[in-house]
């Protein structure tokens, strides 16, 4: 019995098939787990372990290394406010403190209604519109307390459902196309082309 819903399990199997070794699908699969459950659950870890040929302990150990993976439940919206150097110079700390007041939760905490989790992030690479705010890893470009409050209102009212989808950085990433050829066949072709190149080099050397 799969923990992943059938559509996600299908995507998971496709992801595994993309890599020469299945463990390479670890990070994308953990993103899928969050897409389904909001965070990486124990059940998902068991399934990711099975899919990647690892143990649940290895999956947990890997997931715990990466900031984007949550091992505990989080709010429907994870709000990240950057305070790194460019944002610091633009009032990032002040905006983070304001966000904490508006959302009614501490930095790192979740609001009592379970809607928001607030995080202090490292640089999000959008420094020309500082301080940078992301919600579920979508840039929302609310650089002032007023804009931030309007954003929260919009999120509460569901007005940003299109711009800010639920968790999952791959939620709108779908792969089509691909190279359906045996790797051995490709390797043989490359060997042939390298031999031709070496022959050219040898001719030139003469």
Partner 1 sequence: MATLDAPRIVTSRAAYADSHTLARYLDTGGYQGLRQALTMFPEQVAAEVDAASLLGRGGAGFPAGRKWSMLRKSPVSYLVVNGDESEPATFKDHFLVERDPHQLVEGVIIAAYALQVTQAFIFLRGEFALGLERVQQAVNEAYEHGALGRGIFGSSFSLDIVVHPGAGAYICGEETALIEALEGKRGFPRIKPPYFPAVTGLYGEPTVVNNVETMSNLPWIVQHGGAAFAALGAGRSTGTRLFALAGRVRNPGVFEIEMVKNTFRDLIFDPRLGGGIIDDRRVKAIIPGGVSAPWFGPELLDLPLGQDEVAERGSMLGSGSIVVMDETSCVVRAAWRITKFFSRESCGQCTPCREGSGWLERILYRLEHGGGRLEDVDLLLDLSDNIAPGLTWPPQQTTICVLGPSIPSSIHAAISMFRDDFYEHVEHGGCPHD
Binding site for partner 1 (CB under 8 A): 18-21, 23-28, 30-31, 52, 54, 61-62, 65-69, 83-86, 88-89, 122-128, 130, 134, 136-139, 169-181, 183, 186-187, 189-191, 193-194, 197, 200-201
Residues 62, 66, 67: CA angle, nearest 5 degrees: 150
Shortest distance (Å) from residue 12 CB to partner 1: 13
Shortest distance (Å) from residue 2 CB to partner 1: 20
Q: Which helix (H) or strand (E) holds 43?
A: helix 42-52
Q: Which residue's CB is nearer to partner 1, number 89 or number 150? A: 89
Tokens (6 digits) for 63: 């997931």
Distance CA 8, CA 10 (A): 5
Q: Which helix (H) or strand (E) holds 121?
A: strand 116-121
Q: Which residue's CB is nearer to partner 1, number 113 or number 189? A: 189
Query: Which residue carries 């559509």 as its tokens?
Result: 7
Shortest distance (Å) from residue 102 CB to partner 1: 22
Shortest distance (Å) from residue 114 CB to partner 1: 22
Coil, helix or strand at residue 139: strand
């Amino acid at each position: 019995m799969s923990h992943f819903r059938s559509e996600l399990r299908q995507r998971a199997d496709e992801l595994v098939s993309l890599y020469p070794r299945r463990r390479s699908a670890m990070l994308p699969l953990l993103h899928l787990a969050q897409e389904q459950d909001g965070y990486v659950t124990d059940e998902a870890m068991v399934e990711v372990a099975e899919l990647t040929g690892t143990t649940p302990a290895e999956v947990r150990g890997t997931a715990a290394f990466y900031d984007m993976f949550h091992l505990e439940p989080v709010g429907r919206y994870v709000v990240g406010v950057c305070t790194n150097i460019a944002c610091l110079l633009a009032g990032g700390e002040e905006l983070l403190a304001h966000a904490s007041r508006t959302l009614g939760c501490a930095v790192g905490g979740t609001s009592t209604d379970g809607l928001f989790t607030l995080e202090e992030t490292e640089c999000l690479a959008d420094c020309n519109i500082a301080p940078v705010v992301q919600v579920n890893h979508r840039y929302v470009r609310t650089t002032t307390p007023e804009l931030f409050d309007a954003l929260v209102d919009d999120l509460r009212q569901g007005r940003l459902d299109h711009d800010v989808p639920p968790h999952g950085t791959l939620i709108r990433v779908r792969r089509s196309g691909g190279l359906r050829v045996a790797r051995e066949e490709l390797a043989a072709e490359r060997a042939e082309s390298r031999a031709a190149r070496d022959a050219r080099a040898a001719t030139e050397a003469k």
